[in-house]
């Protein structure tokens, strides 16, 4: 069955102070579509949908859901049939219960991550050529999610075999076990990446930038506004994906990757690129080593029904030294 998943669509994050969060994300160059005392809806300059990042004011920082856009509303019913056949407990959100979004289907995936699928979102003015609004890193659009999971091979196989994702690159350990995997629906390197670690957790959300200089502009603006310590890693270039990167932490610790420079994966004869775990060229093509926080810290995720934290599970694969993924 074809489910017509188009791409990564949005994330819903819980934050503890909306004013602090708004100042930070505006410094990065996000556009505020709409805001009130409990919510901020953000998007990139290129995006024509209402938002790609929804910040909700809560007592504790967490990830409510990561979302994928599908082509048509009936695709949601097809997905529900699949999930029910698999014994999953689905959750429907009727149209009108979420700002700007139509009917939406939520599940806890194979790894325990909170997923959402939707077809409809209100459209707004695309600001691609409103250059007077360009500031900070001039964020253009959402690109991907990266998640820490206890069993990468199991999670990636599920997305490939059941949801129709394709693999662009992957890393294997000395026993040929999958250590990390980059999967896509849109024709680029990834919409979702799985990294080996305590999970489920959201490691970061990647946002696309129009050019390499935007990474540097982002650093300059963040530093000038007092956010220098929020820059966690980069700028640098990944071997995996070939992308330029900058990782920053928002006031609640949620990690954002500013991302530019990957490649096309649309050809049906594209073959996934295999990397050995100890290949130094896959880790960082150039740039400084990542700090311990980059390996050890990530955002907790919530149960779609109870709203409680999902318990963490230790990874099935172990290695003595930390490894880089993107």
pTM: 0.95
Confidence of residue 239 (pLDDT cuts 50, 70, 90): confident
72 and 165 in a single domain? The answer is no
193 and 282 in a single domain? The answer is yes
Would residue 316 count as lying in a domain? Answer: no
- Report the alpha-carbon distance of residue 109 to residue 107 in Å, rounded: 6
CB burial of 67-86 (b: ≥16 within 10 Å; e: otherwise) equals bbbbeeeebbebbbeebeee
139 and 222 in a single domain? The answer is yes
100 and 156 in a single domain? The answer is no
Q: In Å, how far are 109, 195, 208, 241 from 131, measured between CA atoms?
A: 40, 36, 17, 29
State pLDDT tens for residues 26-63. Answer: 999 999 999 999 999 999 999 999 999 999 999 999 99
Does residue 322 carry a pLDDT above 70?
no
Q: What is the pLDDT of residue 81?
A: 96
Beta-carbon count within 10 A of 164 CB? 14
Q: What is the pLDDT of residue 283?
A: 73
Strand partners, 5: 70
Would residue 262 count as lying in a domain? Answer: yes
221 and 110 in a single domain? The answer is no
Q: What is the pLDDT of residue 165?
A: 97
Q: What is the pLDDT of residue 279?
A: 81
60 and 104 in a single domain? The answer is yes
Does residue 2 carry a pLDDT above 80?
no
CATH assignment at residue 41? 3.10.180.10
Pair 245, 237: CB distance under 8 Å: yes
Domain containing residue 184: 134-300
Pair 141, 51: CB distance under 8 Å: no
Does residue 321 carry a pLDDT above 60?
no
Would residue 22 count as lying in a domain? Answer: yes
Mean pLDDT, the chain, integer: 95
E strand or H helix at 107: strand 104-108
Confidence of residue 324 (pLDDT cuts 50, 70, 90): very low
163 and 79 in a single domain? The answer is no
107 and 180 in a single domain? The answer is no
Confidence of residue 280 (pLDDT cuts 50, 70, 90): confident
Which residue among 118, 151, 178 closes a domain?
118
Beta-carbon count within 10 A of 1 CB? 10
DSSP letter string, 35-99: E-SSEEEEE-TT--BS-SEEEEE-SS-EEEEEEEEESSTHHHHHHHHHHHHTT---EEE-TTSST
State pLDDT tens for residues 164-209. Answer: 999 999 999 999 999 999 999 999 999 999 999 999 999 999 999 9
- Report the alpha-carbon distance of residue 7 to residue 47 in Å, rounded: 13
Written as six digits, the tokens of 291 are: 């700090």
Q: What is the pLDDT of residue 191?
A: 98
Q: What is the mean pLDDT of residues 247-268?
A: 96
Which residue among 67, 88, 118 closes a domain?
118
181 and 286 in a single domain? The answer is yes
Confidence of residue 289 (pLDDT cuts 50, 70, 90): confident
Q: Hunting for tokens 């820490």 — which residue is that?
A: 148
Does residue 320 carry a pLDDT above 90?
no
Q: What is the mean pLDDT of residues 134-157?
A: 98
Would residue 189 count as lying in a domain? Answer: yes
| Count: domains in the chain | 2
State pLDDT tens for residues 85-133. Answer: 999 999 999 999 999 999 999 999 999 999 999 999 999 999 999 999 9
Q: What is the pLDDT of residue 193?
A: 98
Q: What is the pLDDT of residue 1?
A: 61
154 and 273 in a single domain? The answer is yes
95 and 204 in a single domain? The answer is no
Would residue 14 count as lying in a domain? Answer: yes
Would residue 155 count as lying in a domain? Answer: yes
Q: What is the pLDDT of residue 323?
A: 47
Q: What is the pLDDT of residue 250?
A: 98
Which residue among 60, 87, 118 closes a domain?
118
Would residue 126 count as lying in a domain? Answer: no
286 and 138 in a single domain? The answer is yes
Would residue 128 count as lying in a domain? Answer: no
36 burial (CB, 10 Å; 0-12 / 13-18 / 19+) is exposed
């Amino acid at each position: 069955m074809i489910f017509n998943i188009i791409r990564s669509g949005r994330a819903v994050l819980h934050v503890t102070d909306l004013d602090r969060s708004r100042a930070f994300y505006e410094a990065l160059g996000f556009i505020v579509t709409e805001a009130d005392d409990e919510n901020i809806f953000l998007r990139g300059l290129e995006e024509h949908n209402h938002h790609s990042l929804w910040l909700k004011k809560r007592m504790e920082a967490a990830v409510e859901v990561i979302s994928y856009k599908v082509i048509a509303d009936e695709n949601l019913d097809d997905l529900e049939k699949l999930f029910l056949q698999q014994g999953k407990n689905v959750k429907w959100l009727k149209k009108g219960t979420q700002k700007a979004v139509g009917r939406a289907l939520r599940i806890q995936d194979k790894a325990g991550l909170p997923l959402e699928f939707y077809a409809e979102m209100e459209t707004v003015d695309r600001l691609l050529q409103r250059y007077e609004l360009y500031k900070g890193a001039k964020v253009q659009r959402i690109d991907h999610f990266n998640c820490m999971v206890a069993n990468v091979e199991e999670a990636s196989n599920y997305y490939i075999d059941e949801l129709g994702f394709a693999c662009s690159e992957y890393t294997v350990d000395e026993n040929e076990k999958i250590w990390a995997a980059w999967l896509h629906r849109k024709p680029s390197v990834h919409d979702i990446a799985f990294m080996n670690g305590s999970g489920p957790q959201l490691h970061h959300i990647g946002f696309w930038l129009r050019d390499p200089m935007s990474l540097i502009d982002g650093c300059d603006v963040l530093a000038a506004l007092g956010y220098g310590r929020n820059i966690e890693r980069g700028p640098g270039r990944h071997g995996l994906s070939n992308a330029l990167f900058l990782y920053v932490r928002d006031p609640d610790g949620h990690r954002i990757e500013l991302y530019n420079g990957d490649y096309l994966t649309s050809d049906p004869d594209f073959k996934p690129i295999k990397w050995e775990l100890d290949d130094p060229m896959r880790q960082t093509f150039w740039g400084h080593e990542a700090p311990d926080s980059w390996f050890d810290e990530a955002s907790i995720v919530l149960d779609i029904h109870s709203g409680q934290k999902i318990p963490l599970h230790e990874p099935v694969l172990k290695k003595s030294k930390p490894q880089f993924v993107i």
